[in-house]
Amino acid sequence: MKNIMNYEIIHYYPNKTTLEFINIGVIGYSSNFFSFRLLDEEIEHLNCSFINIKALMGTVELLKSKLQNCKGIKELARSDMYFDDFGFSKTMLTKVYGDYQKELDSVYGDFISYKFEKPKIVHDRREEIKLLSKEIIKKEFKGSVSFMENPYFDFVLNIKDGKKIKQYPTIIGSLFNSADTSRALRLLIETDITKGIYGYINHTEEIIRHSKVAKKTLSILEEKLNFNAKNFSNENTIIDSIATLAA
């Protein structure tokens, strides 16, 4: 059953004069749910010269003590909580297909914890999709599409078109990771390839939440870099994406 959860991002302002902020937490709520997540061990990995870590830790602890006593959004006394160094974003909505807490954790990941993920996590996800694509091609497109390893790209799709073979050099990456999109540009410069496939691994809900960034990235990939962006986030989208190329 599909439900709706309201959520707000908590901003920390090291200096309200400049209006610069970092996201330090999220609250999620509905008619029968209220919960939150705040920066925890991630604080240790912050490397910003303009942020007073002790002050930030104090703010996080203050927020935690206040939010722990709230049973619902109506009990959130914002006027009593508001100081010069933090505030709440506008209310946003997300669909919940199962557990509310899992959806809140997902929102936290999209807005906050992704910044602290180690590169290995992104690499593992890329390898996971690469292996999944190889298995799908072998199972679903036997004879019409083949998977070929490549020293520069993640792989190359060889698609039969009559008596000809069309080659599609493919990169697997995120729409929200600058290292991934920069890699697309670098490969165009370093190889003789003039176009390719960018298989993005982001799920629909993440793209909806960050629709402006997603649209801008897709525009750059397709119009500036000549990459055909395809959804490679799961088995079904990989099948659909390859099928459109092979049609």
d(CA 174, CA 189): 20
Q: According to the model, what pLDDT value does residue 116 have?
A: 64
Say what the pLDDT of residue 48 is: 66
Token representation of residue 157: 């799709």
For position 120, what pLDDT does the model report?
A: 47
Q: Which residues are registered as beta bridge partners of 148?
A: 156
What is the pLDDT at residue 165? Answer: 92
Q: Give pTM, 2 decimals.
A: 0.56
Q: What are the two backbone dihedrals, phi and then psi, of residue 116, each rounded to the nearest 5 degrees? A: -105, 5
Q: In the numeric block, which tokens belong to residue 152?
A: 């520069």
Rounded mean pLDDT for each run of 10 residues along the chain, 247 residues in total: 85 79 90 90 68 82 86 71 74 86 87 64 78 94 92 92 91 89 86 90 88 92 93 95 91
Per-position DSSP letters for the chain, written without gaps between them: --EEEEEEEEEEEEETTTTEEEEEEEEEEETTEEEEEE--GGGGG---TTS-HHHHHHHHHHHHHHHTT-SSGGG--HHHH--TTEEE---EEEEESS-HHHHHHHHHHHHTGGGG--HHHHHHHHHHHHHHHHHHHHHHSTTTEEEE--SSSSEEEEEEETTEEEEEEEEEE-TT-HHHHHHHHHHHHHSS---EEEEE---HHHHHHTHHHHHHHHHIIIIIS-EEEEE-SSHHHHHHHHHHHH-
Relative to beta strand 155-161, strand 86-88 is: unpaired
Looking at residue 62, its pLDDT comes to: 86
How is residue 56 written in tokens?
A: 């930030």
